[in-house]
Chain A
Amino acid sequence: MNKLQLPDYKTPDPEVAARFDRIQQRSVVLNVDHLGKVFSGGDGDITALQDICFKVHRREFICVIGPSGCGKSTLIRILAGLDYPTSGQLLLDDEPVEGPSPDRGMVFQGYTLFPWLTVKKNVMFGLRMTGHGKNFAEQEALQWIDLVGLGKFANAYPQELSGGMKQRVAIARALANKPRILLMDEPFGALDAQTRAQMQSYLLQIWRNVDITTLFITHDLDEAIYLADRIIVLGAHPGHIQEIINVPLPRPRSTDQFLDPYFLATKQRIEELIHPPVEDEQEILPMIRMTQSGDDIL
């Protein structure tokens, strides 16, 4: 089979390169500075994250990808303040981060909508908790619900919604607090392939309409490349940054780009990083027959 001739993912077309230069000049929202996390257990210490350094610029879309066990969930939990680092520091707008706060909104994989509250009240929750009046919260909430296209379901309970709809409510709920950065922990991981593709487009659309900085965890290569400005590729044991890739694709993104040579080149690179080629050839085992003679398959 011919190997596809792919361009170098590091030298995108000048327009895309110029865009990265502009992003670099924007202010830094989140500064992750030599972050480390060691879990101390009975069997000794386990280093989950080691020396993680990166900066997220204003209105950037960052995806974090890596093999399982690379600590990507630990990383986002630390960013959200749900867990704490054992070394290094974390600065949001130059202020050190301590504990969870509404300025870092989070969307979880498991929806985590409050089942006893209607869609509207779920979205109002954060606003009410941060001291906003009921009327204001309600108005704001309805606006966000409209934005994610669920206006008709404002009074429905989460249980009546499909997975994709639930996740849209969760996004609206996180955004209603006007966070500085939106953290998303494999938000579409539990959805089926079609809904997932739909949700990715939805998210890009929302991201276009709302000037939000986003950090998105995923294990899906296509998803990462389709969504991100930059992709942070983590490696496992211990979790560390292997490479930060500037996605060499122009915006606005479309599903047509899935076959773009730059898309494929990026994908190939990430593939190399997360699934390094296996060295020893696997032993070829004899075929085990499940069928009787007479219905040969060859």
Chain B
Amino acid sequence: MNPHTKWFAIRQELPKKRSILLGILAFLLPLAIWSAVSYVPGMWHPMVRVSDVGHVDYFQVGMLVEREVFDDENKYMQEAGKKQAIGEPSNPIYLPAPHIVVKALITAFQTEPIRRGEPWLHESIFHSVQVIFYGFMLSAIFGVPLGILCGTFAFFSRIIEPFVDFIRYMPAPAFGALMVAFLGINDAPKVAIIFIGTFFQMVLVVGNTTRQLDGALIEAAQTLGANAKNIVSHVIIPGIVPNLYRDMRILLGWAWTYLIVAELIGASSGISWFINQQAKYRNYENVFAAIIIIGIIGLSTDIFLSWIGKHIFPWENRSKSSIFVRITQFIKMQSAKLREQSANAS
């Protein structure tokens, strides 16, 4: 049997159509589960949303009541010969249905801040992106050169790496209180947390990447007359740049995971502030929307960076393109076909 007709073949790439199908399913399946839980009655629905209070004195229209309580009250009403309450099975408020969250993805941007002077959602997002940008830039400015030095010269590796390795095990948020003491309550401690969370890892990761460069290339350069300075600038740096770029993409992902903690330090701000604020007012659809927005920003930055990477490193192996690239290719192909067909038709 042709291995390509199997869905499960060890270390065999699937045909293109199947890969794309699976990539789409990766998103559709969780969505399907979420939809099922939200829309299929009896799937979960532990609550009842009251639509007619009947004679239950403390019920209100639109109130969410636990199903047991609802049933008990109705039983009393029935026994007392009074009018029973009517309601629809419903999920708890913290799990809004997909369509409500989708709507919130748009309305969240249009919701006016609750108090005057508070930022709109887009302002909060921009603030978060800024914190990430400064924190990550700062650690890259110092971390990358240090890492390259560690990977190139044993001297730097021996004097820097043990200490960095030590600090690396301290969780960045643990420095929160200290950073507030040092740097005040505004953005500075937040940037510092992102910096602490990424810098020490970066030194080690970049050092390792540098060490992985094929030593024969360095020896070849030596026999061609390159001195130490030129070997660093003309062999080591260009040699590791594609891998360095990949490292940075991964570390940027880490920066996002530190963001939420960083933003809660001192005066809370940015997207985390928005999430907390909305949760306080029980606008959970906005909470979901904000979390999804973080995912979208992270993913689209990564796709964008990987796309740029392909164009700035033409000598690199055409690595297996990610599922998203393949999906966009597929959509492009299909739309080109459609256009062709419509052109033929007219």
Interface residues, chain A, with chain B CB atoms under 8 Å away: 80-82, 99-102, 104-106, 108, 110, 112, 114-117, 125-126, 129-130, 157-159, 173-174, 177, 183
A80 vs B317: C-alpha distance when bound (angstroms): 31
A129–B234 CB distance below 8 A? yes
Distance in Å from the Cβ of B319 to the closest Cβ of chain A?
Answer: 13
Q: Which of B225, B230, B234, B314 contacts A101 (CB 8 A)?
A: B225
Q: Which of A101, A106, A116 contacts B220 (CB 8 A)?
A: A106
User: Of A81, A129, A158, A183, which is in contact with the most chain B CB atoms at under 10 Å from its CB?
Assistant: A129
Q: Which of B219, B225, B227 contacts A126 (CB 8 A)?
A: B225
Measured between beta carbons, the chain B residues less than 8 angstroms from A177 are: 224-225
Chain B residue with the shortest CB-CB distance to A173? B224
Chain B binding surface, main DSSP class: helix
Distance in Å from the Cβ of A271 to the closest Cβ of chain B?
Answer: 31
A106 vs B220: C-alpha distance when bound (angstroms): 7
B217–A112 CB distance below 8 A? yes
A173 vs B222: C-alpha distance when bound (angstroms): 13
Chain A residue with the shortest CB-CB distance to B313? A116
A110 vs B214: C-alpha distance when bound (angstroms): 10
10 cross-chain CB contacts under 8 A: A102-B225, A106-B223, A114-B238, A116-B239, A116-B315, A117-B238, A125-B221, A125-B224, A158-B315, A183-B223
A110 vs B223: C-alpha distance when bound (angstroms): 15
Task: Decide yes or no whether B235 CB sits under 8 A from chain A.
Answer: yes
B225–A157 CB distance below 8 A? no
B314–A157 CB distance below 8 A? yes
A104 vs B224: C-alpha distance when bound (angstroms): 8
Interface size class of B (residues with CB under 8 A): 20 to 34
Contacts A82-B219, A108-B219 given; indicate if A115 touches B224 (C-beta within 8 A): no
Q: A116-B238, A129-B227, A130-B225 are in contact. List 11 more A-B contacts (CB 8 A).
A: A81-B222, A82-B222, A100-B223, A104-B223, A112-B217, A112-B220, A114-B217, A114-B238, A116-B241, A117-B315, A129-B234
A159–B224 CB distance below 8 A? no
Chain B residue with the shortest CB-CB distance to A83? B219
B315–A100 CB distance below 8 A? no
Task: Decide yes or no whether B216 CB sits under 8 A from chain A.
Answer: yes
Measured between beta carbons, the chain A residues less than 8 angstroms from B239 are: 114-116
Chain A residue with the shortest CB-CB distance to B227? A129
Report B214-258 CB contacts with A as 1/0, cut-off 8 Å: 101101111111110010001100110100000000000000000
A108–B315 CB distance below 8 A? no
Chain B residue with the shortest CB-CB distance to A183? B223
Chain B 254-291 interface residues, beta-carbon cutoff 8 Å to A: none
Measured between beta carbons, the chain B residues less than 8 angstroms from A115 are: 239, 315
Distance in Å from the Cβ of A179 to the closest Cβ of chain B?
Answer: 9
Measured between beta carbons, the chain B residues less than 8 angstroms from A112 are: 214, 216-217, 219-220
User: Of B220, B222, B313, B317, which is in contact with the most chain A CB atoms at under 10 Å from its CB?
Assistant: B220
